């Protein structure tokens, strides 16, 4: 059975959320879980995970709509795989029910982590190069009150 929790949104569905629900419906999803608003706790996502059983497939419009971070995404997909639940992304055509799909997910995850680490290294190098010139990172100090 194909099931999905659509991305969180507002009280009135935004066009992006409507597009997500339309895409999931066109993909043949029988149950769509959609959070009503943005929140730290995602009750509909929890309800979706509770609803899923072995041999189901969780379909998402895009992986960034499912996980809040790369680590979050990989953790949740790993938990689904342990429960024998498939994971499919419509936008990336990613399907973890196949060995190739699992490989691609892990390669994407490794590349994203690598890019993040490069950004951190370059930022620190830039800050270190700027310090001898009297520049420091961050927001300029506020002018004193008059």
Assess whether pLDDT exceeds 60 at residue 4: no
Average pLDDT rounded to a whole number, residues 62-86: 84
- Rounded to an integer, the average pLDDT of 119-123 is 93
Give yes or no for residue 1 having a pLDDT over 70. no
pLDDT above 70: percentage of residues in the chain: 86
CA 117 to CA 122: how far, in whole Å? 9
Q: How confident is the model at residue 118 (pLDDT cuts 50, 70, 90)?
A: very high
Single out the residue of 112, 126, 28, 15 nearest to residue 63, CA to CA: 112
Is-contact 37 8, C-beta < 8 A?
yes
pTM of this structure:
0.64
Average pLDDT for the chain: 81
CA distance 92 to 114: 20
HEC per residue, 31-83: EEEECCCCCCCCHHHHHHHHHCCCCCEEEECCHHHCCCCHHHHHHHHHHHHHC
16 compared with 125, residue with greater pLDDT: 125
pLDDT at residue number 60 = 87
For the residues 18-44, what does the mean pLDDT come to?
Answer: 80
Q: Which is higher by pLDDT, 108 or 125?
A: 125
The pLDDT of residue 115 is above 90: no
If pLDDT is split at 50, 70 and 90, which confidence band does 16 have? low
Q: Among residues 47, 85, 38, which one has the least CA distance to residue 65?
A: 38
CB-based burial label for 109 (10 Å; 0-12, 13-18, 19+): middle
């Amino acid at each position: 059975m194909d099931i999905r929790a659509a991305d969180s949104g507002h009280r009135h569905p935004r066009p992006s959320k409507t597009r997500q629900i339309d895409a999931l419906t066109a993909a043949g999803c029988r149950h769509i879980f959609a959070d009503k608003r943005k929140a730290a706790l995602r009750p509909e996502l929890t309800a979706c995970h509770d609803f899923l059983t072995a041999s189901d497939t969780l379909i998402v419009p895009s992986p960034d709509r499912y996980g809040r971070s790369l680590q979050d995404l990989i953790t949740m997909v790993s938990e689904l795989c342990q429960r024998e639940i498939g994971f499919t992304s419509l936008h990336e055509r990613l399907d973890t029910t196949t060995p190739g799909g699992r490989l691609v997910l892990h390669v994407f995850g490794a590349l994203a982590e690598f890019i993040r680490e490069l950004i951190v290294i370059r930022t620190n190098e830039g800050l270190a190069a700027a310090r001898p010139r009297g520049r420091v990172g961050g927001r300029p100090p506020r002018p004193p009150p008059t």
